[in-house]
Amino acid sequence: MSFGLPSSDPPPPPDTDPVTTADVDAPPQAPPPTTINPLALRLNGPAADVTLSEPLDLAPPVGWVEDPDQPMEDVHHLSDPRLSKGDYLMPRPRRLRPNPLKYGSMRTGICYDVRMRFHATVDEDDMHPEDPRRILEIYKAICDAGLVDDPMYTGVVKRDDLMIGIRARLVTMEEALLVHTREHWDFLSSTVALEHEQLQELTRDGDSVYFNGESFFCSKLSCGGAIETCDAVVSGKVKNAIAVIRPPGHHAEPHKAMGFCLFNNVCVATKVMQKKYPDKCKKVLILDWDVHHGNGTQTAFYDDPSVLYMSIHRYSGGKFYPEGPQGNYDHCGVGDGVGMNVNVPWASGGMGDGDYMYAFQRVIMPIAMEFDPDLVIVSAGFDAAAGDTLGGCFVTPAGYAHMTHMLMALADGKVVVCLEGGYNLQSISNSALAVTKVLMGEPPGKLHDGHVACKSAVEVVHTCVIKQSNYWRCMRPRDIIPEEHYEEKQFLKAIKLNDMVRIYQAKNLWDKYRMSVLPIYRDRISESFTFQVIARSDFFTKETIVFFVHDPYAPMLDAGVTYVDWAISKDYGFVDANIPHRLSGIENDGYDAQKQTEELCIYLWDNYLDVSEAKNIFLIGVGDAVLGLINLLVNRDCRDKVRGVVSFLGENHTLRAVVPPVANEYLTEWYYHNSRILISHAHSVWSRPKLPRKKFGALVKSKGLDVHEIMLVERDMITQWIEEQMPVPTAEEEVAEK
Ligand SMILES: [Zn+2]
């Protein structure tokens, strides 16, 4: 059967524009003094010399509220006789006063049009998940909850209802071409004239799209609905709004329909708003919580610095629809738009409220607040909802409500929620209803498991934080942890974070490699360091040891782990030292990360590395922690065991030179021939007329930008270099070996 039969539907909405509220964006003006105060008339009756030729509108003007005097006898404390003896009470004339809650007293808009259900599969018995009933079920849930009084579910909302109805219209070709190609428009319009068999064929050959004779009309109406909904919010007719529209849009590419999407509704609406209201829409945030990556939206704004696209979606190694690498965390935009594309790619299904809250609190909201948009559009698919078998995730209605609530803190509350996917009729209705209630001002419901993110989600989010720290200040740990003049409270928070990261890393390394904490017994080195050094338990007996030193945010998460993998596969020993920015507890007085790094490296050398059985030791340093290695080379003669020194430096890290207390040309020469200093291509050293001297080591310009990226892209080169640095066994040793 077809769910979109026109004959069974209520009539389309009338032509009158149901949006009637005056533009209240401008501050309310006091009524001119000559105007008869309508309230005075109502309360006291018309004065004798006033002739009423027209019925009076008794409601106060927009932006004003009634201020009736309260009868004295209702207020008992005012009968206190002492009040009459002094100047305690000040009479105030009865009048109107400005409405102090402009946003709070505005209403939420809703866009729904029954005709969007005409788009259906051409084969009546083909049950497609993008079912025309989806929008009806959502709209019904909103009506049945009493938010809209519309017994026939026509989409026509009464003027005095709790919500304001927004009428959808057809997108014009000119508007659609702001995003799409002319060929795409012509292709969609050509489907109107196709025969049944041709439509079947088109559906078979398409990339997860179907067509009938009404598809072009419905997709224009859906897109126009998104535009009108955004317009109502931007122009101030409503405070925020939900567009219950279909077909969805976020997979539609500029030149191609795919993934149930014909026109990219949200992209076209964004472009139209930016054109019509250039000053009110300088910066637009599109937040996409559909379980699928919005490839079309990413494409449309990939090089656009005025639109920040953020998507949380299931990626599953690039195997989840729409498949391919473009939904991964490392797709961050190009040209002027670099940094304006943020993907949070879940590694698997099964994500729930806790994971979404974690992503929102750690990545989405900090970046969104730094971006500071003028308008927020939500690509709201409800296919990550519990009950949606296609998405395989477990977000509850309360989870969606909380995400909406957080987004409402942005853009002066100008939030437009546009429906995308979501295929379980019950789940999408409950979720969309919860979102609508929050838009209207209700608090989001309680989350049951909303505070716990799973291990996989934590990993993904941390990878995103590291990647995004290239583009957003709020993602940089240096900015989160105050370097100086911190207050005790902030400082303890920072410490906790630092320890948490290490505990997490330690657990991972133990799970995977049976690496465990290395004891540090030394008065001068803080107790907290005990926990910061991890080693493979048998490193002591290995012929080759890799000593890895880094600060907490570097990169034990994925880049670092690839080095551990390599070392273990070569049967090398591995020692990993983490240098905290700050330490736990009271011992921070006088804590100096630089000095502690230096002392820790020397301590580890004296107590573990130098006395081990290793013949070959490699030192690898990341970022500021490199200083510890330099200090070690200067203060201990390690040259008979250390075969190579590798450093990874991001664009803002300082280059360090080996400068021994007594000038030692041999050390400088040795360092130059036995080091690889990999430096971000964006580092200022590359713009100097002359490269630094040999005491800075052998500098290599890396294609990577930050240390994380450098470690990843240079891994093969560096591991190969290390292997080549191994001494060739002498003839004597080879004989001994036999
Ligand atoms: Zn989807």
Give the per-residue pLDDT at 403. Answer: 98
Give the per-residue pLDDT at 693. Answer: 84
Query: Can you tell me the distance from the alpha carbon of 97 to that of 718, in angstroms, rounded to the nearest whole number?
Result: 72
User: Each residue of 555-567: pLDDT tens digit?
Assistant: 455 567 778 888 8
Paired strand residues for 649: 679
C-beta atoms surrounding 339 within 10 Å: 17
Residue 618 has pLDDT above 90, yes or no: yes
Range with the poorest average pLDDT among 80-89, 309-318, 346-355, 388-397 = 80-89
Burial (Cβ within 10 Å: 0-12, 13-18, ≥19) of residue 531 = middle
Give the per-residue pLDDT at 15. Answer: 44
What is the mean predicted confidence (pLDDT) over 621-635?
88
Q: Which is it for the CA torsion 563, 565, 570, 574, positive or negative?
A: positive
Local confidence band at 192 (pLDDT 50, 70, 90 cut-offs): confident
Q: What's the full length of the chain, in residues?
A: 738
Residue 411 in tokens: 């853009």
Give the per-residue pLDDT at 738. Answer: 54
CA of 312 relative to ligand 1 center, distance in Å:
11
Does 74 or 441 have the greater pLDDT score?
441
Does 489 or 397 have the greater pLDDT score?
397
CA of 316 relative to ligand 1 center, distance in Å:
14
| Amino acid, res. 668 | T
What is the mean predicted confidence (pLDDT) over 681-696?
88
Q: Pairing relation of β-strands 415-419 and 515-517? A: unpaired
Local confidence band at 533 (pLDDT 50, 70, 90 cut-offs): confident
From-to residues of CATH 3.40.800.20 in the chain: 108-468
Range with the poorest average pLDDT among 66-75, 205-214, 286-295, 680-689 = 66-75
Q: Which is it for the CA torsion 450, 454, 458, 464, positive or negative?
A: negative
Give the per-residue pLDDT at 25. Answer: 45
Local confidence band at 531 (pLDDT 50, 70, 90 cut-offs): low
Report the range out of 35-44, 63-72, 145-154, 286-295 with the highest average pLDDT: 286-295
CA of 391 relative to ligand 1 center, distance in Å:
7
- CA separation (Å) from 116 to 215, 240, 361, 472? 9, 22, 36, 40
User: Each residue of 217-231: pLDDT tens digit?
Assistant: 999 999 999 999 999
Paired strand residues for 642: 617
Local confidence band at 210 (pLDDT 50, 70, 90 cut-offs): confident
Residue 262 has pLDDT above 90, yes or no: yes
- Pick from 663, 658, 662: nearest CA to 638: 658
- Pick from 326, 316, 329, 320: nearest CA to 559: 329
- Pick from 597, 706, 576: nearest CA to 648: 706
CA of 432 relative to ligand 1 center, distance in Å:
15
User: Each residue of 577-597: pLDDT tens digit?
Assistant: 877 654 443 344 555 677 778
Residue 35 has pLDDT above 60, yes or no: no
Residue 171 has pLDDT above 60, yes or no: yes
What is the mean predicted confidence (pLDDT) over 201-205?
81
Query: Can you tell me the distance from the alpha carbon of 673 to that of 698, in angstroms, rounded to the nearest whole number?
Result: 7
Is-cis flag, bond preceding 477, omega within 30? no
CA of 383 relative to ligand 1 center, distance in Å:
6
Q: Which is it for the CA torsion 335, 338, 342, 347, positive or negative?
A: positive
At which residue do the structure tokens 């690889």 appear?
676
Residue 661 in tokens: 């207390």
Give the per-residue pLDDT at 486. Answer: 38
At which residue do the structure tokens 């949006």 appear?
19
Range with the poorest average pLDDT among 264-268, 305-309, 526-530 = 526-530
At which residue do the structure tokens 């600060």 appear?
551
CA of 213 relative to ligand 1 center, distance in Å:
24
Residue 515 in tokens: 């690496």
Residue 328 in tokens: 């991964």
Local confidence band at 721 (pLDDT 50, 70, 90 cut-offs): very high
Is-cis flag, bond preceding 132, omega within 30? no
CA of 321 relative to ligand 1 center, distance in Å:
8
Give the per-residue pLDDT at 65. Answer: 60
Residue 6 has pLDDT above 60, yes or no: no
**Which DSSP category does 662 fall into?**
S
- Pick from 358, 385, 417: nearest CA to 163: 417
- Pick from 84, 78, 76, 96: nearest CA to 31: 96
Residue 64 in tokens: 């004003």
Residue 58 has pLDDT above 60, yes or no: no
CA of 291 relative to ligand 1 center, distance in Å:
5
CA of 412 relative to ligand 1 center, distance in Å:
28
How many Å separate Cα 307 from the centre of its chain?
A: 13
Range with the poorest average pLDDT among 48-52, 174-178, 595-599 = 48-52
Residue 615 in tokens: 């013949």
What is the mean predicted confidence (pLDDT) over 12-38?
44
Local confidence band at 519 (pLDDT 50, 70, 90 cut-offs): low
CA of 224 relative to ligand 1 center, distance in Å:
21
Local confidence band at 692 (pLDDT 50, 70, 90 cut-offs): confident
CA of 163 relative to ligand 1 center, distance in Å:
27
Q: Pairing relation of β-strands 108-111 and 240-243? A: parallel
Tell me how many degrees the CA angle 107-286-320 measures, rounded to the nearest 5.
125
At which residue do the structure tokens 């320890």 appear?
499
Mean of all residue pLDDT scores within the chain: 81
Instruction: Report long-range pairs for 684-692 (Cβ below 8 Å, ≥24 apart).
Output: 684/651, 685/655, 692/655, 692/657
Query: Can you tell me the distance from the alpha carbon of 671 to that of 196, in angstroms, rounded to the nearest whole number?
Result: 76
Say if CB 384 and CB 428 are below 8 A apart: no
Give the per-residue pLDDT at 197. Answer: 85
Local confidence band at 38 (pLDDT 50, 70, 90 cut-offs): very low
Percent helix, percent strand, percent coil in the chain, to nearest 5: 40, 15, 45
CA of 311 relative to ligand 1 center, distance in Å:
11
Residue 233 has pLDDT above 80, yes or no: yes
Residue 492 has pLDDT above 50, yes or no: no
Give the per-residue pLDDT at 435. Answer: 98
CA of 637 relative to ligand 1 center, distance in Å:
61
Say if CB 329 and CB 464 are below 8 A apart: yes
CA of 384 relative to ligand 1 center, distance in Å:
8
Say if CB 482 and CB 533 are below 8 A apart: no
Query: Can you tell me the distance from the alpha carbon of 377 to that of 415, in angstroms, rounded to the nearest whole number?
Result: 6
**Which DSSP category does 606 fall into?**
I
Residue 290 has pLDDT above 90, yes or no: yes
CA of 199 relative to ligand 1 center, distance in Å:
23
CA of 345 relative to ligand 1 center, distance in Å:
14
- Judge if ipTM > 0.95: yes
Give the per-residue pLDDT at 523. Answer: 55
| Amino acid, res. 294 | G
CA of 259 relative to ligand 1 center, distance in Å:
8
Say if CB 177 and CB 240 are below 8 A apart: no
What is the mean predicted confidence (pLDDT) over 540-551?
86
CA of 271 relative to ligand 1 center, distance in Å:
22
The active-site residue out of 251, 293, 462, 581 is 251
Measured in degrees and rounded to the nearest 5, phi and psi for residue 459 equal: -60, -45
What is the mean predicted confidence (pLDDT) over 440-448?
93
DSSP assignment string, 673-711:
HTEEEEEETTSGGGGSSS---GGG--EEEES-SSHHHHH
At which residue do the structure tokens 């993934």 appear?
259
C-beta atoms surrounding 670 within 10 Å: 19
Please, where are the H alpha helices in 588-698? 593-604, 626-635, 665-673
Residue 441 has pLDDT above 60, yes or no: yes
Local confidence band at 489 (pLDDT 50, 70, 90 cut-offs): very low
Which residues have C-beta within 8 Å of that of residue 162, sequence separation ≥ 6?
Answer: 107, 146, 147, 148, 440
CA of 258 relative to ligand 1 center, distance in Å:
12
Query: Can you tell me the distance from the alpha carbon of 709 to that of 152, in angstroms, rounded to the nearest whole number?
Result: 57
What is the mean predicted confidence (pLDDT) over 352-370?
96
CA of 443 relative to ligand 1 center, distance in Å:
26
Considering the four listed CATH numbers 3.90.480.20, 3.50.4.10, 3.30.300.130, 3.40.800.20, the one that applies to the domain covering 108-468 is: 3.40.800.20
Residue 177 has pLDDT above 70, yes or no: yes
CA of 293 relative to ligand 1 center, distance in Å:
7
Give the per-residue pLDDT at 95. Answer: 62
| CATH code of domain 479-737 | 3.40.50
Query: Can you tell me the distance from the alpha carbon of 692 to that of 671, in angstroms, rounded to the nearest whole number?
Result: 14
CA of 207 relative to ligand 1 center, distance in Å:
14
- CA separation (Å) from 561 to 163, 264, 453, 498, 505? 53, 40, 21, 19, 10
Query: Can you tell me the distance from the alpha carbon of 531 to that of 510, in angstroms, rounded to the nearest whole number?
Result: 13
180 is catalytic: no
Convert 551-579 to b/e letters by CB count within 10 Å (16 or more is b).
Answer: bbbbbbbebbbebbebbbeeebbbbbbbb
Which residues have C-beta within 8 Å of that of residue 593, sequence separation ≥ 6?
Answer: 579, 580, 581, 582, 624
Residue 360 has pLDDT above 50, yes or no: yes
